[in-house]
Copies of this chain bind each other. A is one copy, B any other.
Amino acid sequence: MKKEESLLGQSEQCECRCIHQERVQAAREHALPLRENEQLADLFKAMGDPNRLRILRALDREEMCVCDLAMFVGVSESAVSHQLRQLRQQQLVTNRREGPILYYRLNDNHVSALIHLALEHLREEI
């Protein structure tokens, strides 16, 4: 995780046999900033777990509280709470408090759109 292209400046020659230097160069110019790339990966990673994905799908319909989600997913409330934290950190869900109960919902419609697009990909490919 720490071996970045720090030492591979744009004009350096590589010791490895690299076939298309121009393409590598072009790819570098087109690449996302390190930090943004990392954030993007974190976003996909947050969606890349079966239980978190179930949670997102459930919240795509209506808001639910933690114990509902725990029962739906079939794991402990603590486990769901840990998962929800990751989803919150990636701005995938938000909540609203009603007394002692927190109602979770999707943060915006990008989430829904991402899932639907991915499902399309999945269903086309086979």
Contact = CB atoms under 8 A, between A and B. Distances in A.
Residues of A contacting B: mostly: helix
Q: Count the copies.
A: 2
Residue of A40, A61, A75 with most chain B CB atoms under a 10 A cut-off: A40
A21 to B, nearest CB: 8
Interface in A37-78: 37-50, 52-54, 57-58, 60-62, 64-65, 67-68, 70-75, 77
Contact of A50 (B41, B47, B70, B120): B41
A108 B125 CA distance: 9
A110 B114 contact: no
A23 B121 contact: no
Given A19-B68, A30-B58, A40-B122, 18 more contacts: A1-B50, A8-B74, A16-B71, A20-B65, A24-B71, A26-B61, A26-B62, A37-B54, A39-B122, A41-B52, A43-B118, A44-B45, A44-B118, A46-B48, A108-B121, A108-B125, A110-B118, A117-B117
